[in-house]
Amino acid sequence: MSSVTSDVRIQREDFDIQSEVARISDGRADIGAVVTFTGLCRDEAGRLSALELEHYPGMAEAEISRIAAEAVARWPLQGLTVIHRYGRIVPGENIVLVVAASAHRQAAFEAANFLMDYLKSRAPFWKKEHHADGTAGEWVEAREADDEALTRWRR
C-alpha cells in the first residue's frame, strides 16, 4: 500500500503552483498525473475590495490533515499537498491550492475534487467581505449546495 503522507500548510503568505508541483514530482518517474486546483478571490463584479479569511488555528491543520488522510486512504496517490491561506486577500490573489499526484489521472482528479468539497464545508475558515465602496461587509454565508456536495462521497 501507499506510504505517501500529505503535506498540509495553513499560511498567510501566497504560494507558487509550479514549485509545489515540482516538490511532489521532481526526481520521480512513477507519477503519470498531477491535478492542481487553485481557488482565487473574486471581486464579485467590482463589489469587493478584499476578503478577510478567519481560521481556527490548530483545528484548521488538524481537520484538513484528517480530510487529506482520508483521500490518501481512498485513492492510490503518490503525493498530496493542500495549502490554505488566511488573512486579508484581494481579488485576483490565491486562496487555496490542492495538488494531487497519481499514476493515473482518475485518482488524481477525484482526490482533488474530494478535498475541495470537504474543505468548503468542514475546514474551519470563514470569509468576511470588504466592500469596494468602503461600507462594512458581511460574513459570506455557507451555501447549502456545498453541504450537499459531500453526500456524493459518502459510502
Binding site for other proteins (CB under 8 A): 39, 54-56, 58-59, 62-63, 84, 95-96, 116, 119-128, 139-142, 147
Nearer to other proteins by C-beta: 31 or 110?
Answer: 110
Name residue, grid cell 491561506: 85
* CB closer to other proteins out of 40 and 73: 40
| Least separation in angstroms between CB 152 and other proteins | 16
Is residue 91 within 8 Å of residue 132, measured between CB atoms? no
Nearer to other proteins, 22 or 62 (CB): 62
All residues at 6 or more sequence positions from 112 whose CB lies less than 8 Å from its CB, including other chains? 35, 36, 37, 98, 99, 100
Q: Closest approach of Cβ 46 to other proteins, in Å?
A: 21
Least distance (Å) between residue 29 CB and other proteins: 32
Tell me if 67 sits within 8 A of 115, measured CB to CB. yes
Alpha-helical regions (H) of the chain: 17-25, 59-74, 105-122, 144-151
Smallest gap from residue 27 Cβ to other proteins (A): 31
